[in-house]
Structure 1
Amino acid sequence: MMIIEALLANAAILLGLALILWVLALQADDVSFVDAFWGGGIALLAVLSWLRLAEPGPLATMLMAMVVVWGVWLALQRLLRWRREGADPRYARLLAPARARGRFALAALFKVFLLQALLMFVIASPAQYGILEASWDQAISGMALTGLALFVAGIGCEWFGERRSDRLGLTGTACVWWGIWIAAASAGWWVAAWTAIGPILVTVLRFRNRG
């Protein structure tokens, strides 16, 4: 029950943040900075989960650090891109029909911010559940180290891929989240079973959207 309450609280905080950013987007008439929210919001979910532990153990701390490193890096990278390049034409195309009908605000809320928040919560499920399930004395096992190694390889691929704008970055994102899932699964097989949707979803979305 404590874990369910923690996850619900995380969801409520994420929803509140999404609504605040939606209001800011309406004032700026641009939703493109939501890409920075993607990384930052996922990092926030990991930190919130970690803070709920009375005595965070080594595995929980490792999982939190993995997600924060990835999320903060992505948030800064996307925020700088937005500041440098301005509005993202993908979002302009997505919201153009609604804008023409005078429904930009609702479309931005449901098609961008609420949808992103839902996807972020699901994708971050391995980190959240793994952190909350990891006991204070949970050792960092060989399985967790395997996940960490895959994560590090993924971070490297993403970094080089972002600079070269090729498929290496797509593969890197998939490796990052499969690595996090493997590390989280070391907290218990049930963590792996309930959160496999996270890395599957991020892999599908990343290769389909290529962005």
Structure 2
Amino acid sequence: MLVTAYAARRAGRVSVVDVTWGLALAAVALVCALLGDGDALRRWLLLALVGLWGLRLSWHIWRRTVPSHGQGHGEDPRYTELLGSGRGGPLVRVWIPQGAAIWFVSLPVQVSAVTGGGVGLVVALGALVWLVGVLFESVGDAQLAAYKRDPNRGPVMDRGLWRFTRHPNYFGDACVWWGIWLVAASAWPGVLTVPSPVVMTYFLVFATGARLLEETMMKRPGYPEYAARTSMFVPLPPKRRP
């Protein structure tokens, strides 16, 4: 977080932390795989799951936001609102909370690194949930990028996965961490780390994710109508309205 704070100061925006998020969690998984003395297969599986997810996410955000690639923009509106909503600068409102969140969210990976063999069926189920999450994230991001390139696009992205959920990337992120928890929960006491995916899902839906973004999106023409017919988080068939 200190390195990220320095990079953010040079870039002039704290949203740089979004690039660090995936890399930091991948680094935690790497340390756990190398230094843990628990079940080796599960340690390296978790490194693969967290590493692939984290590197893809960081690469996607980096390409989307770094000005040197001609695709950058100013501060993320979520962080502008967060920093302006109370006392304390980026250190108190961003860097310390993000560092604590990385530690807390990665608890399933940390605990799993020091536990023995588990139930193989639960591991397989966790990997499947993780795969669903990664597909929602990557496909949703690709569909949104294609929409932005389309000169004849409508006012609101409501195609593909976005037809069933207004935030397929956030939903996919939640699935990723529930899948990782399931892999860790295949062996005791990994099941006790369930607060990690619960808190992660809460933040994705209510705190720094969907709800906060919705406050900005609702000001766009056509978005309230889109929101009225489309589920906010969990994918559901669109509502029929006259």
TM norm. shorter chain > 0.5 = yes
CA displacement 1:86-122 (0-9 Å, x = unmatched): 2323223333478xxxx9xx61111111111111111
The answer for the alignment partner of 1:35 in structure 2 is: 18
The answer for the alignment partner of 1:191 in structure 2 is: 190
User: TM-score, normalising length from structure 2?
Assistant: 0.69
SS at match of 2:15: coil
**Relative to structure 1, is the Cα distance of residues 145 and 39 closer, same or farther in structure 2, using a 3 angstrom cutoff?**
same
User: TM-score, normalising length from structure 1?
Assistant: 0.78
**Relative to structure 1, is the Cα distance of residues 23 and 168 closer, same or farther in structure 2, using a 3 angstrom cutoff?**
closer
C-alpha distance in structure 2 between counterparts of 1:76 and 1:119, whole Å: 20
The answer for the alignment partner of 1:95 in structure 2 is: 83
C-alpha distance in structure 2 between counterparts of 1:172 and 1:140, whole Å: 24
Shift in Å, 1:24: 2.7
**Gap runs ≥5 in structure 1:** 1-17
CA displacement 1:102-149 (0-9 Å, x = unmatched): x9xx6111111111111111111111211232x4xx367111011001
C-alpha distance in structure 2 between counterparts of 1:156 and 1:36, whole Å: 19
1:207 maps to a residue whose letter is V
Note if contact 1:185-1:192 (Cα within 8 Å) is conserved in structure 2: yes
Name which of 121, 133, 136 aligns with 1:157. 136
Note if contact 1:50-1:56 (Cα within 8 Å) is conserved in structure 2: no
**Gap runs ≥5 in structure 2:** 145-161, 214-242
Report the aligned-residue RMSD: 2.2
The answer for the alignment partner of 1:61 in structure 2 is: 44
1:183 maps to a residue whose letter is V
Note if contact 1:43-1:72 (Cα within 8 Å) is conserved in structure 2: yes
**Structure 2 residue 204 is the aligned partner of structure 1 residue 206:** yes
SS at match of 1:33: helix
SS at match of 1:174: helix
The answer for the alignment partner of 2:100 in structure 1 is: 118
SS at match of 1:85: coil
1:175 maps to a residue whose letter is C
Note if contact 1:58-1:139 (Cα within 8 Å) is conserved in structure 2: no
Name which of 76, 81, 89 aligns with 2:59. 76
Which structure: greater helix fraction? 1
Between structure 1 and structure 2, the one with the greater Rg is 2
2:73 maps to a residue whose letter is G
CA displacement 1:72-95 (0-9 Å, x = unmatched): 111111111111232323223333
The answer for the alignment partner of 1:178 in structure 2 is: 178
C-alpha distance in structure 2 between counterparts of 1:141 and 1:97, whole Å: 46
The answer for the alignment partner of 2:238 in structure 1 is: none
**Structure 2 residue 139 is the aligned partner of structure 1 residue 141:** no
SS at match of 2:13: coil
Structure with the bigger RCO (C-alpha within 8 Å, sep 6+) is: 1
The answer for the alignment partner of 1:49 in structure 2 is: 32
C-alpha distance in structure 2 between counterparts of 1:32 and 1:123, whole Å: 19
2:181 maps to a residue whose letter is W
C-alpha distance in structure 2 between counterparts of 1:184 and 1:56, whole Å: 11
